[in-house]
Amino acid sequence: MQGPRNLIVAAVAGAATALAFAPLNLWPLGLVGLALLAHLVVTADSGWAAAGRGWLFGTAMFAVSLNWIATSFTYQAKMPAALGWVAVIGLAMYLALFVALPAGLAVRLAKKPVARALWLVALWPLAETLRGTLLTGFAWNPAGAMWLETPVAQLASVVGSTGLSMLALACGVALLWLVRNPGRWRGAGIATLAVTFLLALLGGSMITENDFIGTPLVIVQPGIGQDERYDAASAERHLATYIRLTRQGLNQAAQAGRPVLQNAEVARRALTETEGVVSPVPPSADKVTGEMKNKLAPGLAAPTPEQAGGGTALLARKPTLILWPEGAIDALVEIDPSALARIAGSIGRGDLLLAGGTGVSRNRDGAGNMGARYANSLFAIAGDGRIVARFDKAHLVPLGEYVPLRDWLEPLGIARLVPGDFDFAAGPGPRTLMLPGFTSVSPMICYEIAFPQAVADRGNRPGWIANVSNDAWFSAWGPPQHLAQSRLRAIEERLPVARATPTGISAVVDGFGRVRSSLAQGEIGTIVTSLPPPQPESLFARLGLYPVAVLALLLALAGWLVERHRPPPPPRPMRTITA
């Protein structure tokens, strides 16, 4: 039987642990929450009781930390907005199964409290790995993310975020032992916390300082709110904002004052009017309000007012990379040469624009009829008007980019959260794009960045990661958490990450997970900086989860030995021989 007190403690502990993640980052509170979870598990009467407590803990943790998902339902009309909270609770209840699993198994495998605690820590990485893979996976907010604002986070370059999660739970167990276990196990708790402190010192020593000496980079954040994203009447204004901010950023990056490129505007046209093809994506709108702000990194000279004012010419400068967000291009640029020319004309001939849009491919169905296949894509567009590379998103979002079990769910009124009755096709997975004249890149579209070991091609390591996303859906908590996932991947891979989103948080993150430049949520403007250099390939990039698996097996072995150990019986009293 589950006592009401234990159920309340489980829910409160889970909610408290959620506050350890972004945007609050109250990591000590997270360790206390994990200590309470360990207590609930080791004191459970049965495996089912422990699983129930773990499930309630997980439900509360995910419901609080993923509250931002509910906001996405307010931006579409096919489903009621209240369904957003149903989705949050339903998703939290599902994800909580991956907390219930190690909790229940730990109690089934051992009876001694210490052995149960060791099994709980050993099984946690397996549960998180399953959470990130089953049913397409949802690896968001691993327990290890709570270390992100501490030097301990640098150990992700060795054991990944999964290993950090294991360490977080081990520290929770250590806190439990300090409070409840006498003798040597209290000493073991002290030793665990001491080792964690030493690991923090080691993590801090891994960080090296590097000057920004790489490729000039301009990131555009246009301030396009989701409430106007699909307003056809504002499509032209939307594109004009991207072009104006791009040219403003390029002028800021200039190192000389003479004009070298005339403005390449073309006649205005409806971007969805392409002969022979009807775009499946309605045109976007942009909300141009407020002051255009710019972030200029040290070492890049600010332009004079005469240089940056008119926007009719670009100044002499180095070839520059430009990054636009996911879905920034409404036109099907592969088959719309006029739209492609206008976009390419906004940059210099030596520049390269990476921008999200809709990719289209021709294919034949089973009857031999030609059809179109659409993808959520990122294009590399050169200043001479060529599309030099394209990447299609592989890890698609259920109900965002496709409807699973469409034949069953559509009659129930379940639809995509974005306009359109089609499903995007999935791409092939992580790829390194070779960019002419620039450092090779691994594109990641939206939440693809949340999956460890799935952000870079192991056979062809890139020089950086480009994460384009649309975080305008996700209220106040979603964008900081998305940035946190990007920072974890940067540390794991020791690669810089550049993020572009319509409304924030756009940022440049170095290979140590530090945010070097950023634009806040709701801010309109550009980041003008240089791409940080890649660091030497990390141990995690080479070995993956093998070190974590070895640690988990050692802890499982320790739990098994503790469970089997029987203390020797007390010595029998000696007989007294009397005469």
- Please report the DSSP string for 474-517 in residue order: STTTHHHHHHHHHHHHHHHHT--EEEE-SSS-EEEE-TTS-EEE
| Nearest Cα to Cα of residue 559 among 45, 46, 121, 98 | 121
Confidence at 358, pLDDT banded by 50, 70, 90: confident
Residue 24 belongs to some domain of the structure: yes
Which backbone phi and psi does 129 adopt, to 5 degrees? -65, -40
Residues 434 and 555 in one domain: no
Residue length of the chain = 579
Number of domains present in the structure of the chain: 2
Distance CA 113, CA 188 (A): 14
Residues 128 and 227 in one domain: no
CA distances from 336 to 320, 341, 496, 509 (A): 24, 9, 33, 34
501-558 pLDDT tens trace: 999 899 999 999 999 999 999 899 999 999 999 999 999 999 999 999 999 999 999 9
Top-confidence range, 91-105, 274-288, 446-460: 91-105
Top-confidence range, 44-48, 309-313, 425-429: 44-48
Residues 480 and 551 in one domain: no
Residue 127 belongs to some domain of the structure: yes
Residue 440 belongs to some domain of the structure: yes
Residue 570 belongs to some domain of the structure: no
Lowest mean pLDDT of 42-51, 141-150, 442-451, 468-477, name the range. 468-477
Residues 257 and 201 in one domain: no
Give the whole-number percent of the chain exceeding pLDDT 90. Answer: 59
Top-confidence range, 66-70, 254-258, 487-491: 487-491
Tokens representing 83?
A: 């369904």
478 CB-near residues (< 8 Å, 6+ apart): 68, 69, 71, 471
Residue 414 belongs to some domain of the structure: yes
Q: Are 434 and 389 in contact (CB under 8 A)?
A: yes
Residue 579 belongs to some domain of the structure: no
Residues 350 and 383 in one domain: yes
For the whole model, what pTM was predicted? 0.84
Residues 197 and 257 in one domain: no
Which of 185 and 203 is assigned the larger pLDDT?
203
> Residues 147-175: what's their mean pLDDT?
96
Distance CA 185, CA 181 (A): 6
Residues 201 and 88 in one domain: yes
Domain that holds residue 476: 216-530
Residue 403 belongs to some domain of the structure: yes
How many alpha carbons fall within 13 Å on the CB side of residue 292? 19
Q: What mean pLDDT is reported for the chain? A: 83
158-168 pLDDT tens trace: 999 999 999 99
Which of 62 and 425 is assigned the larger pLDDT?
62
Residues 128 and 21 in one domain: yes
Residues 310 and 165 in one domain: no
Tell me what pLDDT residue 275 has: 40
Residue 536 belongs to some domain of the structure: no
| Nearest Cα to Cα of residue 387 among 425, 339, 426 | 339
Residues 35 and 101 in one domain: yes
Q: What is the CATH number of the domain that holds 398?
A: 3.60.110
| Nearest Cα to Cα of residue 62 among 40, 33, 31, 94 | 94
> Residues 250-257: what's their mean pLDDT?
69
Distance CA 562, CA 341 (A): 70
Residues 321 and 459 in one domain: yes
Which of 316 and 372 is assigned the larger pLDDT?
372
22 CB-near residues (< 8 Å, 6+ apart): 145, 148, 477, 480, 481, 483, 484
Residues 156 and 259 in one domain: no
Tell me what pLDDT residue 126 has: 96
